[in-house]
Amino acid sequence: MLELIRESAPAFIAIVFAFTLLIGSFLNVVIYRLPIMMERDWREQAAELMDTPPQQELPEGRFDLVAPRSRCPSCGTLITAMQNIPVISYLFLRGRCANCKSPISVRYPLVELMTAVLAAITAWHFGPGWEALLAIILTITLVPITMIDTDTQLIPDAIVLPLMWLGLAISLFHPMPGAHTLFISPADAIVGAMAGYLTLWSVFWLFKLVTGKDGMGYGDFKLLAALGAWLGWQQLPIIIMMSAVVGAVINIGMIVARGKDRSIPIPFGPYLAGAGWITMLWGETITNTYIDLMF
């Protein structure tokens, strides 16, 4: 199997696609449950300080990424292993619960497909090797960060902080023969993490001093710090530029098309995550093209 992976790029990409399709199924669990786990922790901490009635009901008993087993949200029927095969089960069940026939959100197979497609593109870009493995880890980690921030406008420390520390740890293996993106020097990784955090932290406080409002959350600082730890401080300008431009274009389009309330907070994490992933794959090419056009 290892020999096949080393000698055949299509086989390597196909294996990555199939494996990360399964991971995408687990990420759906993370995306749904982790915010609830966080809220339960916050309430337990708040209960120690004051008696605050809950605004909504939360699951009782053990509730984490492993237990309880997944159930239909409408009828409560347990989802079997055969009904939990990524994408295929959704198509076989025609997007409905096997018991009560309630519709299943198309978002679940889309997250699975997105995870697998992004990982396959990453595998194709880097080819078999340690660099591809690490790039795939970064890719699939950015998926739940993006989706949770979109849903809740929160970026969980439980994901982003380990991601940052892993990026710093990887830099200890610099230089790595044949690697050009992820195995940066410890100095570049440390400065990247510091600069990433301080850049958005400074923007946050400048915006707050001028407007009296919070412009972004602390999770955005930590996410850019994590990307700086993985990709180095040299890549931060292009990440910030791309995320700001794309975010502005999309949000202006939403305001024009849907009449979106400008006072509603807009998550910035998805744009940082997308810009970071693009920079990981094509940052050097984009930078060189920009320099050629400008000079």
Q: DSSP for 38-76, please give it.
A: HHHHHHHHHHTT-----SS----S--SSSSSPPB-TTT-
| Residues 190 and 168: beta-carbon distance below 8 Å | yes
For residue 97, give the DSSP letter.
-
Q: How far is CA 192 from its chain centroid?
A: 19
Tokens encoding 161: 């902080």
How far is 81 from 67, CA to CA, in rounded Å? 15
pLDDT score, position 292 = 76
Amino acid in the structure at residue 295: F
pLDDT score, position 3 = 65
Q: Give the domain ranges of the chain.
A: 1-128, 130-295
pLDDT score, position 16 = 94
pLDDT score, position 39 = 87
pLDDT score, position 63 = 73
- Alpha helix segments (H runs only) across 61-154: 88-92, 107-126, 130-152
How far is 93 from 86, CA to CA, in rounded Å? 12
Cβ density class 216-238: b for 16+ within 10 Å, e for less? bbebbbbbbbbbbbbbbbbbbeb
Low-confidence ranges of the chain (pLDDT < 70): 1-7, 50-58, 60, 176-181, 253-265
pLDDT score, position 200 = 92
pTM for the whole thing?
Answer: 0.86
pLDDT score, position 55 = 60
pLDDT score, position 52 = 59
